[in-house]
Amino acid sequence: MSTQELVANCKEQFNNAFGENPQKVVLSPGRINIIGEHIDYNHGFVLPAAIDKYICFAISKNNTQDCHIISLDLKDEYKFNIKDKIEPVEQNWVNYFLGVFNQVQDKIDSGFNIVFSSTVPIGAGLSSSAALECGFLYGLNYFFALGLDKRQIAKMGQKAEHTFAGVNCGIMDQFASVFGKENSVIFLDCDTLDYQYAPADFGDYTLLLLNTNVKHNLQTSEYNNRRKECEAGISIIKNKYPEVQNFREATMEMVEDLKDEMGDVVYRRSRFVVGEISRIQELVKSLKDNNFENVGKLMTSTHYGLSKDYEVSCEELDFLVDNVLKEEGVLGARVMGGGFGGCTINLLKKSEVKKIIEKLSKAYLEKFEIELTPYQVSVSEGTHFTD
């Protein structure tokens, strides 16, 4: 479905449900990440971009105390009163709304109606949850004159995820969804939230996403475990090297030096994080120099680090990466996002895209009896109003 169709459908369904046109329509995008995985919560840098897959919200204030949210895709709805005590509920998708609403409830003086629908696939590692949190808050910010700037919107979206979805995530997804810019990747310092845009230009090459269409249920618990293991790692480093504040200041020599003390798991997690922080800086330089071969090589190194040291890959993702790398014209490939399913991101020659999709889809189906879903995404604008 095109974005235009998505918007038209939301408006139409809003009209059917509430008998009027929505006062505002918000589009909030999913994201990709070129490199810098699992380091947003480890004081690193990341290189994400918003994509042309969106959640669309048709919204009106209704001047009652009642709120009514309709999910077109899930064929589900949720109603609450603006004075209700807000707590997590059984319907998973509702928690992203409530986790945001909860933070601004004291400034909300009217109910509202929302109809929403999405072209961001769920569980694909494209951050549909960040798009949901940030798009909703973007709308509330307008209707209730909350005076939030984009950084605050991203941070509050992240907080909703921590408090109502139970995922102790970093800031990358929400930041990318809000700050996305057409044809630009965002080089983000996750400590200071300073950022620079760089052209999303890969010359004769392009990015292709391959969705495994699997989502292993370890996702949340293992994500939160990784954070704990990294905290253990940095605390051991700081103990021996008090001048080090965080992983950004740690070196591979320090990690090697403390290998025995860390134990195998914490050692491998720390080794990945220090390696990834230096890889992203090298990749940004290679991108500037149009050295796409090296960009691809670094992406692939990230994959094997995520798979072997960080252990957030899975059989399906490893299969896709191993096999795509055998093809001519492929410069690099890796698991993208939190892991345990979702998409791989691949850097390959534009002219090879069709052939590679065909070949990989067939091999994947044969091996796992699961259809592969390819996405050729464009790098697009962050959360915004549309007509």
Catalytic positions are: 173
Q: How far apart are CA 51 and CA 119, in angstroms?
A: 11
Q: How far apart are CA 382 and CA 89, in angstroms?
A: 29
Q: Where do runs of H (alpha helix) occur along the chain?
A: 3-18, 92-104, 128-143, 150-160, 172-179, 219-240, 252-257, 259-288, 292-304, 315-324, 353-368
Shortest Å distance, C-beta 78 to ligand GLA: 23
Residue closer to ligand GLA by CB (options 9, 152) is 152
Shortest Å distance, C-beta 326 to ligand GLA: 26
Residue closer to ligand GLA by CB (options 6, 47) is 47
108 φψ region: left (φ > 0), alpha (ψ -120 to 50), beta (else): beta
Shortest Å distance, C-beta 358 to ligand GLA: 29
Residue closer to ligand GLA by CB (options 112, 179) is 179
* Coil, strand or helix at 163: helix
Q: How far apart are CA 57 and CA 73, in angstroms?
A: 12
Shortest Å distance, C-beta 335 to ligand GLA: 10
290 φψ region: left (φ > 0), alpha (ψ -120 to 50), beta (else): left
Which tokens go with 139? 């709308």
Burial class of residue 1 (count of CB atoms within 10 Å of its CB; 0-12, 13-18, 19+):
exposed
Residue closer to ligand GLA by CB (options 188, 330) is 188
Interacting residues toward ligand GLA by CB under 6 A: 37-38, 40-41, 127, 169-170, 172-173, 337-338
Residue closer to ligand GLA by CB (options 22, 44) is 44
Which DSSP state fits 170?
Answer: -
Spatial contact of 29 and 381, defined as CB atoms under 8 Å apart: yes
- Alpha-carbon separation of residue 211 from 12, 219, 357, 362 (angstroms): 30, 16, 11, 14
